[in-house]
Each structure stands twice: as structure tokens, then as C-alpha cells.
A and B are shown apart, each in its own frame.
Chain A
């Protein structure tokens, strides 16, 4: 009886006495099963392998979706350089506007420059009059003589249709306190400043 195993050697001896004998017919059964065409059962797919496989499939699906999205231009960051208009209220159509946007709507950066070198695009020789990232805000205190005006309608954000207006608060001839764009055309749902 199992009573006391203070010494593991007793357990070793007891386990060593255990012997099992398969039934005598098992040998013939194995040969017979083979002769009848019985073959080993295919290994079941382990849960871990299935999870790894599922993970790989999800990654592939993600990659395909990302590529499709990129192809459709949904995730692309666009930079639009519009020149030349009177963005600072100075009277001359010598200003350009740079808009960096994502998905054709989310404005990440908006800058207004004076096209000093007449290249009709932003170059190192131009003067930057206004530059912002993020949401529109006043960059200078409101002062007497400041003008607010709107220019419409062009595709300022690279979204496609010429449905954008630009709203500018400026102190002529060349100081700009705020600039933002919004969808202007009738039917456009989003009229928030961007």
C-alpha cells in the first residue's frame, strides 16, 4: 500500500515494479489495419498554429486594405500651392497660399507668402507672411484697420472640386492675423473652418 515515501527511492522502486502488457492481439491488429489500408490520422492543427495563421491572414488583409486606400488617394498627404491672388489685402495679386492636407480635407498646415521673385510658386526667395499648423486661430491681436474678407472658389485643399473658400483676417498691406478655408459650394455639409 502507498503509505510512506519519506525516501524517493521507495517511490522509484515502486514505479519500477509497474508493468503493463498490451493485449496479445494488438500486434496482429496493427499489421491488419495496415493491410486494410488504414493509415495514421492526420495531425490536428494546434490552436497556436491556427492563431498564428489567423494573425497572418489579418495582417495580409490589413496590407491589402492599406494599399487599396493608398491607391484611392484616401491616405495621401497633398500639398497645394495656389498663386497668385491678393491674400493680404494689399491690392496686388502677388500672394500665394500653401495648403498641406490629408484625405483632401484635414488641413495640417496653411501658409501665405508674397511671391517676391515672380516665380508663381513658393520658393526660397519669397517672404512668408503667415504660417500655421493645426486649427485656425488669431496669430496677432485684433487691431483697428483689420479687414476680414473671403476669396472663392478654388480647390485650395486638393480635394478635387473647386469648392473651397479662404477666409482671411489681415491688416493691409501685408500683415495676416488668421487664414482658414472651408467648403463653400451649396450642398457642402461641412462649413467649419479648417
Chain B
């Protein structure tokens, strides 16, 4: 299951200086943002680019971030959403996932063969996710990519948690149909 270890506050204790703050933001949210982005792009390289761009935007805008108006996590994921949208607009890349692009996939596989099978499974899953509509892709990316729970996803999407659960359930249903069609 996705972990929910993401902090929901700004790295206030981080030392001053942009480079130090960059590291602090990244340490807190880097993994989650990267994994979220990774659910939307075809390769690790693209995910690197979008993640780096997201954190450059975070650094450029951090003076404007007001913790009283919302959680840092929500703020950062909205920046990530916009960055991802811009990326797709610029590149207009057709979504596809090749096995060679899975170098960043975490696998607890004892053998190389099992790792390959896992890569293949994830590849097919993400290809199917890529065929879903934008709303479905977004909610799956936030829930499973970033590892946030439905409550956090609801905050980012600005909807009620019950709505997130419903949308997620429907998205999974549509994903299931796509996978079954693919298998057939």
C-alpha cells in the first residue's frame, strides 16, 4: 500500500540559503513528487526533468508561500501538477512505457527474472493508466504515485475525501476493464 510519510509542512528548520533550502524541500517532498510524476510520464529521464523543474519553481516561489493559507504539501503538489501539464503541452509526447525506462522502479525481487516480470507488470499497468482520462490518471497518480492517503489527495484536489474515494474506485474500475481488454 502507498505510504503516507509525507510531511505536510514547510521545512522550517532548514538552514538559510537557497541551495540548502532546495535540499530541504527536496528531502521532504522529492520522493513523493518524483513518484507522482513518474505515473504520468513514460521514462525516468522525463520524470527527472519534471521533478527538477517542479523544485526550481518551488524555490522561485517559496517567498510567496504562506503556511497560514495552506499546507506546503498541497502547495507543492499543485506546482507539480502545473509543471506536469506544461511538460505535456510542450512535448506532446505520446504516452508509452518501454521496459528500458524502468530503471527507477523499486523491486524486491530476489532474481533478475522476477525483476523483469515485475517491470513488465508495472509497464503494462502504467500503459493502461496512460489510456485513462485525465481525471482518472490524476487521481491514480496522486494516490499511488505520491503515496498519499485519500485525505491528502482530497486536499490537493480541493474536494471531499468521500469524492476522492468514489472517483478512485471508478478509475480503478475503468483501469480494470482496460487491463482485461488488453489481456483478452
Measuring CB to CB, which residues of chain A are less than 8 angstroms from any residue of chain B? Answer: 1-3, 5, 8, 11-16, 18-23, 26-35, 38-41, 43-44, 46
Contacts and interface: CB of A to CB of B under 8 A. Distances in A.
A68 to B, nearest CB: 38
A107 B56 CA distance: 68
Contacts of A14: 121, 125
B143 to A, nearest CB: 8
A30 B83 CA distance: 15
A20 B35 contact: yes
B28 to A, nearest CB: 11
A34 B59 CA distance: 8
B56 A22 contact: no
B56 A30 contact: yes
A94 B136 CA distance: 84
Contacts of B169: 8
A8 B52 contact: no
Contact of B34 (A26, A32, A41): A26
Contacts of B106: 19-21
A44 to B, nearest CB: 6
A33 B19 CA distance: 9
Pairs A-B, 7 closest by C-beta atoms? A19-B106, A16-B1, A15-B144, A22-B34, A31-B22, A20-B38, A8-B172
Given A8-B172, A34-B22, A40-B60, A20 B53 contact: no
Given A27-B27, A34-B18, A22 B176 contact: no
B75 to A, nearest CB: 15
A1 B122 CA distance: 9
Nearest to B103: A23
A15 B105 CA distance: 12
Contacts of B144: 15-16, 18
